């Protein structure tokens, strides 16, 4: 039985979610089970000021796809903290806002191993590790380089191997643009949402 005095445990899964796919959902579900999290908050990022390499879909589309994808799981919720804040998203701001909203909870920030590599270059890296325990999910094709791996503060970061799902949003967008199926890579409702709103269509001349 759960100890009634136990602090609530809240997972935080940040992402662009353009679109959300089963890799995200499996990673969140694995971490939920492993750490016995009471809930997992999916936090779509805000709209970047400028897009270095590509157009990111409007935040409301990414938010709604995330709501659709998580609706059936009673422990999964979606937070608007990042999309309601102006400007690009920094994880330090996400965690500060969620800490203010949930002062009684322990936060577990869930991230893919690839994204974990970036964290060490963040300007507020030390503060970030104070606000949450980090869980790095290893995924296929994105092994961490040994230098990064050895720099991880092991008391603040747990590496967890999740069932290998070689799915990325980039691949889903590309498939959709090329008219290839994305069924079963993303939840059914998300396929239907993408079709309904014509997301990820090929630019004229691109196909």
Q: Which residues form the interface with ligand ATP (CB under 6 A)?
A: 15-18, 23-24, 27, 111-112, 114-115, 137, 139, 162, 165, 167-170
Min dist CB 110 to ligand ATP, Å, is 7
Min dist CB 94 to ligand ATP, Å, is 12
Q: Please state, in angstroms and rounded to a whole number, the distance separating the CA atoms of residues 68 and 188.
A: 9
Min dist CB 171 to ligand ATP, Å, is 7
DSSP secondary structure code for residue 58 in this structure: P
Residue 6, token pair as written in the block:
């136990």
Pick 78 or 137: Cβ nearer ligand ATP = 137
Pick 3 or 78: Cβ nearer ligand ATP = 78
Contact 136, 111 (CB under 8 A): yes
Longest C-alpha distance within the chain, in Å?
Answer: 61
Pick 30 or 97: Cβ nearer ligand ATP = 30
Min dist CB 113 to ligand ATP, Å, is 7
Min dist CB 67 to ligand ATP, Å, is 15
Pick 4 or 163: Cβ nearer ligand ATP = 163
Is residue 26 packed enough to be buried (19+ CB in 10 Å), middle (13-18) or exposed (0-12)?
A: middle
Pick 6 or 178: Cβ nearer ligand ATP = 178
Pick 5 or 62: Cβ nearer ligand ATP = 62
**What is the number of the residue whose Cβ is closest to ligand ATP?**
112
Min dist CB 138 to ligand ATP, Å, is 8
């Amino acid at each position: 039985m759960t100890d009634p005095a136990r602090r609530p445990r809240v997972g935080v899964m940040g992402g662009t979610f353009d679109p959300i796919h089963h890799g995200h959902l499996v990673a969140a579900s694995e971490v939920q089970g492993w750490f016995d999290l009471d809930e997992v908050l999916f936090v779509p990022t805000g709209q970047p000021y400028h897009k270095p390499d590509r157009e990111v879909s409007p935040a409301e589309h990414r938010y709604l796809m995330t709501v659709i994808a998580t609706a059936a799981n009673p422990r999964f919720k979606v937070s608007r903290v990042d999309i309601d804040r102006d400007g690009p998203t920094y994880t330090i701001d996400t965690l500060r806002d969620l800490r203010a909203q949930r002062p009684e909870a322990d936060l577990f920030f869930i991230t893919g191993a690839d994204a974990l590599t970036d964290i060490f270059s963040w300007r507020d890296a030390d503060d970030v590790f104070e606000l949450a325990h980090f869980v790095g999910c290893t995924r296929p094709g994105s092994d961490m380089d040994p230098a990064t791996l050895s720099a991880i503060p092991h008391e603040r970061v747990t590496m967890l191997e999740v069932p290998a799902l070689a799915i990325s949003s980039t691949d889903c967008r590309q498939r959709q643009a090329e008219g290839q199926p994305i069924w079963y890579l993303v939840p059914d409702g998300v396929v239907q949402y993408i079709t309904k709103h014509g997301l990820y269509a090929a630019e004229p001349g691109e196909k």
